[in-house]
Amino acid sequence: MPGAQAQVGEVSQALNSGRHTTTTTRWYWIDAARTTALIDSPGFQEFGLRQIGAGQLAGLMPDLREHSRACRFYNCTHRHEPDCGVHAALERGAIDASRYRIYGELFAELS
């Protein structure tokens, strides 16, 4: 992060990873539009969604959840089912293609 003025440590030769220097949580905006951010937090080496089932994912994404109510099937995965409200919204531009791509990647990882 250019200009972050964050303390950084040297890379450990034994572990081939950075040494921990973070002492407080800090939020950094990646882009000027403030649509993407990075959070540097002490004690976190990895973040995951393993506690979430693949079938729960769309309900946790507000932009998909809104359109999933129009699905023909109550257990629609929004991946290949007919009469899917999420697919219909995606086709008419009501859901951003990049958000649906992220949903697909997370769904595959959680499955």
Domain extents in the chain: 1-47, 54-110
Report residue 18: phi and psi, to 5°: -70, 150
Q: Which CATH number fits domain 54-110: 1.10.287.130, 1.10.40.50, 1.10.10.10, 3.40.1080.10?
A: 1.10.40.50
Please indicate whether residue 5 or residue 98 has the higher confidence score (pLDDT). Answer: 98
Q: Is the model more confident about 7 or about 83? A: 83
Q: How far is CA 16 from the centre of its chain?
A: 26
pLDDT at 34: 79
- In a 3-state reduction of DSSP, which class is residue 109? helix
Q: How far apart are CA 36 and CA 2, in angstroms?
A: 15
Of 52 and 21, which is predicted with more confidence? 52
**C-alpha distance from residue 85 to each of 28, 68, 79, 81, 99 (Å):** 35, 5, 11, 10, 15
Higher model confidence: residue 1 or residue 93?
93
DSSP 50-100: TTS-GGGGGGGSHHHHHHHTT-SSTT--SSS-TT-HHHHHHHTTSS-HHHH
Residues 33-90: pLDDT tens digits?
877 888 777 766 667 778 899 999 999 999 999 999 999 999 999 999 999 999 999 9
**What is the structure's pLDDT at 59?**
93
* Average pLDDT estimate for 85-99: 95
Q: What's the pLDDT at 49? A: 79
